[in-house]
Amino acid sequence: MVSVGAGIGTEAFISSRLVGPSGKVLAIEGDPTAFAQLAMGIHLNNFENVFPFFGLITNQSEWTEILLGNLIGADFTTSNILNVRGRGVKFMGFTLDQVLALSDFLEPDLLLMNIEGAELLALEGLSSLPKRIVVSCHDFLGKPETETFSDVSMWLSNHGYMTSTFDKKPGMPWEEYYIYGERTL
pLDDT tens per residue across span 19-76 = 999 999 999 998 888 899 999 999 999 999 999 999 999 999 988 877 776 555 445 5
For the entire predicted model, the pTM comes to 0.88
DSSP-derived letter for residue 80 is: B
pLDDT at 112 over 70: yes
- What average pLDDT does this structure show over 79-94? 71
Length of the chain: 185
Q: From CA 77, how far away is CA 50, in angstroms rounded? A: 22
Residue 82: pLDDT band by 50, 70, 90 thresholds?
low
Tell me, what's the pLDDT at 80? Answer: 60
DSSP-derived letter for residue 132 is: E
Fold of 2-183: Rossmann fold (3.40.50)
- What average pLDDT does this structure show over 91-119? 91
Q: Are 61 and 95 in contact (CB under 8 A)?
A: yes
Tell me, what's the pLDDT at 84? Answer: 58
Residue 6: pLDDT band by 50, 70, 90 thresholds?
very high
Tell me, what's the pLDDT at 11? Answer: 93
